[in-house]
A and B are shown apart, each in its own frame.
Chain A
Amino acid sequence: MPRTIAWKRYNRRVICLSLAYCAFLLPAVYGFKHQLVPHSLAYLVAVLPALPIIGIFGAIGRYLVEEQDEYVRMLMVRQILWASGLTLSFATIWGFLNNFGLVGHADGYWLIALWFIGLGIGSLVNKLTLDDGGC
């Protein structure tokens, strides 16, 4: 992905949100493991690590709005389509396999990890189909 101003801004936001994710997740895991989280705060502490991830989705949306280079924006849209298509396909297949008792239950947040892997696959597809090899 060419390093446009919007891309640099997006990267900065994602780094900040990733740090926030770690800052929320580690204490939450520790707190729940050692039963330090009061019941009244349990839902809040459990949801906090999800917020920066939601923020990353927001950062991606903002990037699409701020990106002035239409070709670069199209590359990101293609990545998002690959990520969403792969994730939804995988979730559909897994859901049916699970329904017929052929695979176990999987936690929903793995879909987020899969979606980000899908972004990487989308980037690879972009490289293979559109990249000019830097010439």
Chain B
Amino acid sequence: MENRLRVLRAERAWSQQDLAGRLEVSRQSVNAIETGKYDPSLPLAFRIAELFDLPIEEIFVSPSRRSSKAI
């Protein structure tokens, strides 16, 4: 799933390891989410949203909205 995680992390000058530590997941998890190789569960997506103090939809791009925009 497309997302703004890398941008949000960069804005705070956090490394992947920093973000992983804050989310209590592995750095590999952060990388997999950032690169769209892995879609986080809803609880993890909420943790990410709460960490950045943003609604989920401002971090993760809804696949259905993305496809409807493409049409």
Contact = CB atoms under 8 A, between A and B. Distances in A.
Given A74-B38, A130-B37, A68 B24 contact: yes
A69 B26 contact: yes
Interface string A55-84: 000000000000011111010000000000
Interface residues of A, number: 11
Nearest to B34: A132
B29 interface: yes
Given A130-B37, A130-B38, A70 B29 contact: yes
A71 B38 contact: yes
Nearest to B35: A132
Contacts of B28: 2, 71-72, 132
Contacts of A71: 25-26, 28-29, 32-33, 38, 40
B6 interface: no
Interface of B: 24-29, 31-33, 35, 37-38, 40-41, 44
Given A2-B29, A68-B24, 20 more contacts: A2-B27, A4-B26, A68-B25, A69-B26, A69-B29, A70-B40, A70-B44, A71-B25, A71-B26, A71-B28, A71-B29, A71-B33, A71-B38, A72-B28, A74-B38, A130-B37, A130-B38, A132-B28, A132-B31, A132-B32
